[in-house]
Structure 1
Amino acid sequence: MALDLHRKYIEKKQDSAPLVPIKDIVNSKYYLDPLELLGERNFNAPREINESEVGTPVQEFFRDAVVLITGGTGFMGKVLIEKLLRTCPHIKHVYLLIRSKKGKNVEQRLEDIFEDRLFKRLKHEVPKYHHKISGIAGDCGLPGLGLSVTSRNTLINEVTIVFHGAATVRFDEHIRVAMSINVSGTREMLNLCRKITNLKVLAHVSTAFANCNRLLVEEKFYEPIANFEDVLELVSSKDDQTLQDMTPDIIGNFPNTYAFTKSLAEDVIRREAKDLPMLVFRPTVVIATYREPVRGWIDNVYGPTGLIVGVGTGVLHTYYGDSKTITDMVPVDMVVSALICSAKEVATEKPKEIPIFTCSSARQKPVRWIDFIEMNRRHGIYWPTIRAIWYYSFMPTNNIYVYLLLKFMCHIIPGFILDTLAVLAGQKPILLKIYKKIDKVRDILAYFSDKEWTFINDRTLKLWDTLDSQDKELFNFDIHQLSWEYFSQAHCLGLRVYLVKDDIHTLPSARKRWERLHLAHKALMAVTYGVILWFAWTILSFVFRLFV
């Protein structure tokens, strides 16, 4: 199987990181080149921009466009920036709304963005991209977006397209902060866009889970459970602790402040943005890249990513939840392509009502948790991390008693032993703290562990059908062609290189370590089963003697 998957990759040793064959994993003479698998060896040649060259319909839509992006320092925002600068050669300029953070000013944070390996392809293919990108000081949590008079006037006079993706995505965010950024920030963006002279379209990035209190979610607005103006007034009149105590009552049947405030943000748009050329874009769970600019890129451990990383590093061995549940996930590059094309569609067609585009996969390409994990295990075994503390061993369960037993045996006892050894060696104990964090994350995500939603995505599917063949190649978001097997081939390698930042030069050492951990795992299993059998035999012998 693995030989067939990798037969197309190079047979010689790679220049930057010579590897040895994985003799104990695959009986193959082929050398697997991780950078080719990720797509980092397949960049196009650097190109000069020809102003007279006519592009595809989507490319031409962005000709001479000045784009404002909020949330550009985030996961989706980075991919959006990279995609626009690389595939839309005649775009005029991109402004990023950036706030100062951790002692770094706007210019420093802008430089930090492009230090990410995500932009390696952009730097190679479009080396003169620098003059098309600028940072503007601002903060979506402040009145007027925190813009200076000069910056505001610049945006009003120059911008033609706006992608509003700024949001706090922490599920357990304080209600005051979540309301400030997700609701008030959206309202402030609407006020700014009303003044923009040549606005073509405003694309608001929401989430499909803004209506997670419904199991069937169509591409339409829903009545919120609360009036956003009343909640804003409440937030402004109470202290932090009082609001914290009131939060369960405020958010009602929503699982967290994130989903609740994103729901209210949509209501702000429904009620106050009818005079604007805009759309609402609802992605489901956004995961690593599928194909562009490289495969498997990601920069966070939210959702499925954290689970795969925990399992792959030998830290996570059990989890409480229904592994047969289908989780709606979409690779981030497909999400961004759909967002770009939906913006072009709305600006061109000028619909009378604000359209909603849902980017989801479960209706067309459903995947169960257990199958997704198994695919990642099967392909990820070739790319172990040098930071692994144990071999792959994962036993999810939806039985609370079995989970508590497995948690005690596989997490608490090993965590206590290894932390004790760390203290004796003069090192900092961390494993039990990690397991406490995992428990906290599990509690936060418990609402989603046994539910399946149906997200209607008809408008997005129809949008794909309207694209010509060239745009379909440049801006792929065809869910029908999505292959979870293809995604999984590079996913764990991408996590290793881009997220864990484990250099590929460590692969030979990591594979040897992985083999040793495998042997240790087998030995431990043999001892464990032996103890269990001995214990069972002792009990049975005692019972037998008792009655005979």
Structure 2
Amino acid sequence: MSMIAAFYSGKSILITGATGFMGKVLMEKLFRTSPDLKVIYILVRPKAGQTTQQRVFQILNSKDLCAQNASSPYNTLQASRYCVATTHAFLFGPLVQPQKSDGHASYWSRHAVQLNVTATQQLLLMASQMPKLEAFIHISTAFSNCNLTHIDEVIYPCPVEPKKIIDSMDNVSRSLEPGTYGFKTSQAGKGFLRSLRATPMAVADLIPVDTVVNLTLAVGWYTAVHRPKSTLIYHCTSGNLNPCNWRKMGFQVLATFEKVPFERAFRRPNADFTTNTITSQYWNAVSHRAPAIIYDFYLRLTGRKPRMTKVMNRLLKTVSMLEYFVNRSWEWSTYNTEMLMSELSPEDQRVFNFDVRQLNWLEYIENYVLGVKKYLLKEDMAGIPEAKQHLKRLRNIHYLFNTALLLIAWRLLIARSQMARNVWFFIVSFCYKFLSYFRASSTLKV
């Protein structure tokens, strides 16, 4: 019997960020391993014309969430409407009552101060009013202190008072905040992103989402049962335990694309890594911007609205934000994480496994690409043969286009240079003589 699963039975849990990727996986794990949960509270806001109840219904009925007990999620889940900009009383009034466990799974895609600082502050105020609170878990990026090369499992002092940051952000327009996104595998698979300014041997520090979720639930159990005297930081990183570099990742991603291509690709997938700025700018111009301009010209000729240049510019802007991270490697201390693993029973180590040393990166990356195709792009596996035919057509177009460019460039060079004409005539004469000799030799043998 799993001690962690038994611990969460009968517990009440609050999860923020439940509509995001990690929040959904966290709920999925709880539904599967602890069907006797008392209640899961989630904070959901209306969005895109959908009410809170409609969004919850959509989450529970999506193919991303496949709980074993179909009735369990509906009986266990309770949603509360919220808005980050509202007051503390409106946010958490209905929830400020004796609860047992508080899981704070914040996985926001924008580093907005209103979410990362203000909302966390409000959650802490709410938690302080829970006399039976057993654990408060905050999930954040391991790159919070990316200015350091070696990062320990400690809380580093904040260089700026948080209140000053909150006050200063009140006067900043949201439109000025750049979005932060991960590596666009879907864009790479469609052939949009073919080159990246990155150090090939730099460690990618990949972490599967279920590894993070397993560690989160294990931390909640350990905190409630063992009551550590101080706040513990747990690094869920792979760099120093089971490193995977960008070259290895790019190779396996391309190999998977060959077997399971994405539908309606813009160009054939490719993964070129370079550390040279000039080379990177060249590939951006040749492999990214030029094809986008040509495609927009084609759209104009056919009476359609050009859009590819705008899409490509946005993609390159997003990728430029990643350059700091894909050109560096970090060292992480994992003493607390390894200590927690040693505290688990063999059954818990199997059910809630977060040991990254057991990861097979080649297998993981292949499953990762398949997941992007199935769940992110919503593509059917039955369309793979047609997708492969489409890639063959793109390959032929690529060869034809390059041949035409070579002939045009050579023709222009011949027209301007006597030496180039002499070289061309020499090559043609040599090929003719070689073919004549080969034909004569074949005749003699017969």
Normalized against structure 2, the TM-score is what?
A: 0.87
Q: 2:73 aligns with which of 129, 132, 135?
A: 129
Q: Is the 8 A contact 1:85 1:129 kept in 2?
A: yes
Deviation at 1:367, TM superposition (A): 1.1
Counterparts of residues 320-399 of structure 1 (less than 5 Å): 320-399=197-276
Q: After superposition, what is the alpha-carbon deviation per residue over 1:327-384, rounded to whole angstroms, capped at 9, x for unaligned?
A: 2110001110011101101111101101111100010111111110101111221111
SS in 1 for 2:249: helix
Q: Is the 8 A contact 1:95 1:134 kept in 2?
A: yes
Q: Does 1:214 align with 2:156?
A: no
% identity of equivalent residues: 25
Q: After superposition, what is the alpha-carbon deviation per residue over 1:108-163, rounded to whole angstroms, capped at 9, x for unaligned?
A: 1111222332113x1x55444310111111234432174364x134xx13x21112
CA spacing shift, 1:537–1:196, aligned 2, 3 Å: farther
Deviation at 1:439, TM superposition (A): 2.0
CA distance in 2, matches of 1:503, 1:199: 45
| Residue 52 (structure 2) aligns with | 106
Q: Is the 8 A contact 1:145 1:185 kept in 2?
A: no
**Greater alpha carbon shift after TM alignment, 525-534 vs 442-451:** 525-534
Q: Does 1:138 align with 2:82?
A: yes
Q: Is the 8 A contact 1:380 1:493 kept in 2?
A: no
Supply the AA of the counterpart residue of 2:152: E
SS in 2 for 1:358: coil
CA spacing shift, 1:352–1:519, aligned 2, 3 Å: same
Q: After superposition, what is the alpha-carbon deviation per residue over 1:415-461, rounded to whole angstroms, capped at 9, x for unaligned?
A: 11111111222323221111111221123223223222212122112
Q: Is the 8 A contact 1:140 1:146 kept in 2?
A: no
| Residue 357 (structure 2) aligns with | 480
SS in 2 for 1:97: strand
Aligned residues: 422
Q: After superposition, what is the alpha-carbon deviation per residue over 1:380-417, rounded to whole angstroms, capped at 9, x for unaligned?
A: 21111222122223333222222222222222221111
Q: Rg: which structure is higher?
A: 2
| Residue 348 (structure 2) aligns with | 471
Q: Is the 8 A contact 2:251 2:271 kept in 1?
A: no
Q: 1:240 aligns with which of 172, 178, 184?
A: 172
Q: Does 1:405 align with 2:345?
A: no
Supply the AA of the counterpart residue of 1:424: L
CA distance in 1, matches of 2:416, 2:4: 73
| Residue 261 (structure 1) aligns with | none
Counterparts of residues 22-41 of structure 1 (less than 5 Å): none
SS in 1 for 2:160: coil
RMSD: 2.6
Q: After superposition, what is the alpha-carbon deviation per residue over 1:309-339, rounded to whole angstroms, capped at 9, x for unaligned?
A: 2221112222223232212110001110011
CA distance in 2, matches of 1:220, 1:345: 18
Q: Is the 8 A contact 2:5 2:33 kept in 1?
A: yes
| Residue 76 (structure 1) aligns with | 22
CA distance in 1, matches of 2:347, 2:145: 35
Supply the AA of the counterpart residue of 2:81: A
Q: Does 1:303 align with 2:246?
A: no
Q: Is the 8 A contact 1:314 1:391 kept in 2?
A: yes
**Structure 1: unaligned runs, 5 residues or longer:** 1-54, 172-177, 248-255, 259-301
Q: After TM superposition, which residue ranges in structure 1, 4 or more long, deviate above 4 angstroms?
A: 124-127, 525-541
CA spacing shift, 1:543–1:489, aligned 2, 3 Å: closer
CA spacing shift, 1:161–1:536, aligned 2, 3 Å: farther
| Residue 116 (structure 2) aligns with | 182
Q: Is the 8 A contact 2:113 2:166 kept in 1?
A: yes
CA spacing shift, 1:418–1:257, aligned 2, 3 Å: closer
Supply the AA of the counterpart residue of 1:378: A
Q: Is the 8 A contact 1:167 1:182 kept in 2?
A: no
Q: Is the 8 A contact 2:264 2:390 kept in 1?
A: no
Supply the AA of the counterpart residue of 1:376: V
**Greater alpha carbon shift after TM alignment, 529-538 vs 447-456:** 529-538
SS in 2 for 1:329: coil
CA distance in 2, matches of 1:332, 1:515: 34
CA distance in 2, matches of 1:219, 1:200: 22
SS in 2 for 1:367: coil
Q: Is the 8 A contact 1:70 1:97 kept in 2?
A: yes
CA spacing shift, 1:337–1:544, aligned 2, 3 Å: same
Q: Does 1:160 align with 2:92?
A: no
Q: Is the 8 A contact 2:11 2:37 kept in 1?
A: yes
Deviation at 1:169, TM superposition (A): 2.6
Counterparts of residues 41-80 of structure 1 (less than 5 Å): 55-80=1-26
CA distance in 2, matches of 1:516, 1:244: 41
